[in-house]
Amino acid sequence: MSPEERMTIDEQRKYLHKMRIRYWQAQSRSERSRLLNEMETVTELHRKSVIRLINGELTRKRRQKQRGKTYGADVEVAIQKIARSMDYPCAERLQPNLVWMAQQLEKHGELNISLEIQQKLSQISISTIRRILGAVSKKVDRVAHQKKRPGIPNPLLRGIPMYRIGWDEVEPGHFEVDLVHHSGTSSEGQYVHTLQMVDVATGWSECCPMLGRSYLVMEDSFQCIFNRLPFPVKELHPDNGSEFFNHYLVKSWKNLVKDLTLSRSRPFHKNDNRFVEENNFSLVRAYVGYQRLDTITQVKLLHELYDQLWLYHNFFQPVMRLKQKVYQDNRSSCKRIYDPAQSPFDRLCAKGTLNADTQRYLQMLRDGTNPCQVRRTIEHLTTQLFNLPKAKEGVPEDVHQTIGLWQFGAASLNKVTLSL
């Protein structure tokens, strides 16, 4: 009998409670023996255990002596500190990364742990981590989306295939692409957008802010992302929006990336871009929120914020990837098996995509980065962003002042610099 078909203790007691009435009412010894055989088969308990239970008290008694704690307060404090430095990931993502992250924090003076605590962190279970951290619920206000009116079909879309990049894609470089609108409650006028690209195989994410979504700022944002990427782009997979699929931007993509494959999601199938849609909240909305952003100053500050999030997410945030699907009961249900959580950088290193110089440079970058300090910087920048004034009515913002801002920040870390 499989583990899923076995009775729990409570189910066994409930079954025996009903069966013992029949057992007591049995007239002959042979009938009682037959009932005992049946109860032994159904509950999978030893015959003597079944007899003891039906002749005794079936209600479960409380433990008289509670078990002591295996992990003391020092371990709990260390886990809470590590979880906060990683922005409170789930226990499945946190557990495989406790030891190396504790060493990283100790190296930067954020945590002081002994060898005994490191040993306990290496053997602690996911269930214990859940009990230590507790359930954290995040409530997010959702903005109602209005239905779009049907427009004129884009002839450029006819030659671009529609599909969903497979969950079992193993080659890095296949990116889902999307835009996040920072329009607040009104979509009137010109406002800030975030261009995000997520690699399906590794979870590597790139974000770039821009004012509006014209061809000029879209091309500049893609140049920003391509210059910072430490591995080549194989495929771009956006939705069907005209901001992506127009003759100017498609031509620009082909000039920036050789042998580029273009694909798109199916209309009204947001799950075709499931990885980038998930990161739209966890990596953009969770920090920037839903307020309206519409000034050049806000774009400049977003560049600084996304530079910090680039470090924080790609080097210190473990992500889980689907490893196997097991179909049961004639494919009516599916059990999903995930691999151990790893940061996108660790996944890139494991796949051997990075050349030796790039990998050594990025490893030095992570070793020299204090994740707690990065988190504090992110919190400081988000506070500044929320306090910045909005655009004045009737005063236009010059989009040209936002072009090329990435060349002066961490985003200017291009492939030439990485290969040094």
Read off the CATH number of the domain in which 202 is found: 3.30.420.10
Please give the Cα distance from 48 to 46 (Å, whole number). Answer: 6
Are residues 111 and 192 located together in one domain of the fold?
no
The pLDDT confidence band at residue 68, using thresholds 50, 70 and 90, is: low
With tokens 């009938």, the residue in question is: 31
Beta bridge partners of 205: 198
Please give the Cα distance from 311 to 385 (Å, whole number). Answer: 19
Are residues 26 and 171 located together in one domain of the fold?
no
Residue 396 or 4, more confident = 396
pLDDT at residue 66, as a whole number: 65
Are residues 189 and 100 located together in one domain of the fold?
no
Are residues 237 and 348 located together in one domain of the fold?
yes
Residue 400 falls within a domain, yes or no? yes
Are residues 278 and 215 located together in one domain of the fold?
yes
Residue 352 falls within a domain, yes or no? yes
Residue 260 falls within a domain, yes or no? yes
Model pLDDT for residues 146-181, shown as the tens digit of each residue: 444 556 778 888 889 999 999 999 999 999 999 999
Residue 419 clears pLDDT 50, i.e. is over it: no
Model pLDDT for residues 2-59, shown as the tens digit of each residue: 556 778 888 888 888 888 888 888 889 999 899 999 999 988 889 998 888 888 877 7
Residue 414 clears pLDDT 80, i.e. is over it: no
pLDDT at residue 150, as a whole number: 55
pTM of the model: 0.76
Are residues 102 and 200 located together in one domain of the fold?
no
pLDDT at residue 67, as a whole number: 66
Please give the Cα distance from 24 to 20 (Å, whole number). Answer: 6
**Could you give the residue ranges of the DSSP H alpha helices within 236-370?**
247-256, 274-279, 286-288, 296-316, 344-351, 356-367
Are residues 34 and 116 located together in one domain of the fold?
no
Residue 60 falls within a domain, yes or no? no
Model pLDDT for residues 209-224, shown as the tens digit of each residue: 999 999 999 999 999 9
Average pLDDT over every residue of 259-281: 91
Please give the Cα distance from 318 to 97 (Å, whole number). Answer: 7
On whether the CB atoms of residues 175 and 204 are closer than 8 A, the answer is no
Residue 140 falls within a domain, yes or no? no
Residue 397 falls within a domain, yes or no? yes
CB within 8 Å of 254: residues ≥ 6 apart: 260
Look over the chain and give the mean of its residue pLDDT values, rounded to a whole number: 86
Are residues 200 and 304 located together in one domain of the fold?
yes
Please give the Cα distance from 390 to 298 (Å, whole number). Answer: 9
Are residues 315 and 288 located together in one domain of the fold?
yes
Model pLDDT for residues 88-112, shown as the tens digit of each residue: 888 999 999 999 999 999 999 999 9
pLDDT at residue 267, as a whole number: 87
On whether the CB atoms of residues 201 and 210 are closer than 8 A, the answer is no
Average pLDDT over every residue of 243-270: 91
Domain hosting 97: range is: 73-133
Average pLDDT over every residue of 341-354: 93
Residue 412 clears pLDDT 50, i.e. is over it: no
Residue 136 clears pLDDT 60, i.e. is over it: no
Count of structural domains, the chain: 3
Q: Which of 108, 133, 158 is the last residue of a domain?
A: 133
The pLDDT confidence band at residue 141, using thresholds 50, 70 and 90, is: very low
On whether the CB atoms of residues 75 and 117 are closer than 8 A, the answer is yes
Please give the Cα distance from 387 to 379 (Å, whole number). Answer: 13
On whether the CB atoms of residues 305 and 194 are closer than 8 A, the answer is no
Please give the Cα distance from 184 to 187 (Å, whole number). Answer: 7
Model pLDDT for residues 225-237, shown as the tens digit of each residue: 999 999 999 999 9
DSSP calls for 41-68 = HHH---HHHHHHHHHS--SPPPPSSPPP
Are residues 16 and 42 located together in one domain of the fold?
yes
Residue 122 falls within a domain, yes or no? yes
Are residues 275 and 340 located together in one domain of the fold?
yes
